[in-house]
Amino acid sequence: MNLPSVILKKGKERAIKNCHHWIFSGAVESMPSFENGGVLPVRSAEGEFLGYAYFNTNSSIVGRMLSFDETPPEKAIEESIESALALRRVFFDESTNAYRLINAEGDRLPGLIVDRYDDVLVIQVATLGMEKLKRFVIEILLKKFSPRAIYEKSILPSRREDGLDDFEGLIWGEPVETVEIMEHGLRFLVEIPGSQKTGFFLDQREMRRFVGSLAEGRKVLNAFSYTGAFSVYARRAGAVLVDSVDTSERAIELAKKNLYLNGFDAGEDRFYVQDVFDYLRRETPAYDFIILDPPAFAKKKVDVIQACRGYKDINRLAIKRAAPGSFLLTFSCSFFVAEDLFQKVIFEAAREASRRVRSMQRHHQAFDHPVNIFHPESAYLKGFLLYID
């Protein structure tokens, strides 16, 4: 591609040579005239060719690398997609047909998420550059998968920063409202339009199986339960009680359906359409296994202080309500709340609850949400298994 290049300032090529995908505006010495979202070559101040990136001058992250060598951009995209699919084939068989196919920078495709729900693909496009490449990406996905439908759920703050409107809707195939998926042999109904994230919390799949290894004989509280996936795993494991709490009546109704779908009588469990903070503040049963998986409390960097107050409050309430000898599995999916900060918040919650608490394990997003070792910003989910005396 004989295109004019973006030239970086002296010394700013180091991050690119380390295969980090982002180019910040302050790293750029000069740029040719181009249309935002376009793909351009990137060179060091000395003229060394570094790869190709798409650019948007309206964003503080002005460029995002698609390749780190002379591989043409479209070929690099296709190779990255094929590499992502090959990795998933290593881990999944017929017992699980819902997982993340493409995890943005974690799969060398910045700005792109693709999730599989059986024969339906759900995509998220976060940036203007990837928006302009979307048609090409869809052609590759159709060739590799022959899906029944491709649905887009691009409702993200990053789109607005890139000058894009949010978008949700069918972009290929037949209209789909609900899909039945398999996960570790369990069945779940996933509502595609209007749901949270892309429809299901795929990043917690391995944690759900982990819950199944601990829930036998226990009284379980699934807080922020959404459509009840943790509850189903707990019931399969032999929990004696499972309570599910969520503010969404629609999600609670789907949680009941998911229990029935797996052969469990939802009438034996309790469901509460209620704010979890309010639920834990009133008198509740003495649970011996509590799962806290709230939505992101910090969606922007300026939200971190307020978010930490929320995390401390909810964990303090849960620790106070926990029976002696109980487990608490607590998570934060807020990218801006680092793992060490989240640990300090839990420490403060335990201290204020006046309970003895031990940390047993740390947990992160499922392995179909890979983190590029050269781009650690891909990590966001962190969790702790706590034992409460």
Which 8-state DSSP code applies to residue 116? Answer: E
Q: How far apart are CA 151 and CA 114, in angstroms?
A: 10
Closest CA to 39 of 104, 145, 136: 136
Q: Terminal CA-to-CA distance of the chain, rounded, Å? A: 64
Handedness of CA 338, 343, 347, 349 (dihedral sign): positive
Total count of residues recorded for the chain = 389
Q: How far apart are CA 15 and CA 169, in angstroms?
A: 37
Burial of 282 (0-12, 13-18, 19+ CB in 10 A): exposed
Residue 56's identity, in one-letter code, is: N
Q: How far apart are CA 355 and CA 324, in angstroms?
A: 9
Quickly list H helices, 171-248.
205-214, 229-237
Q: How far apart are CA 221 and CA 203, in angstroms?
A: 20
Give the strands of the sheet with 326-332, arranged side by side. Answer: 270-273, 241-246, 219-223, 289-292, 326-332, 382-388, 357-364
Q: Are residues 56 and 34 in contact, defined by beta-carbon separation less than 8 angstroms? A: no
Distance, C-alpha 354 to centroid of its chain:
33
308 part of the active site: no
HEC assignment per residue over 303-351: HHHHHHHHHHHHHHHHHHHCCCCEEEEEEECCCCCCHHHHHHHHHHHHH
Distance, C-alpha 206 to centroid of its chain:
13
Which H or E run contains 183?
A: strand 178-183
Catalytic residue among 28, 333, 366, 381: 333
Which sequence positions are flagged as catalytic?
A: 333
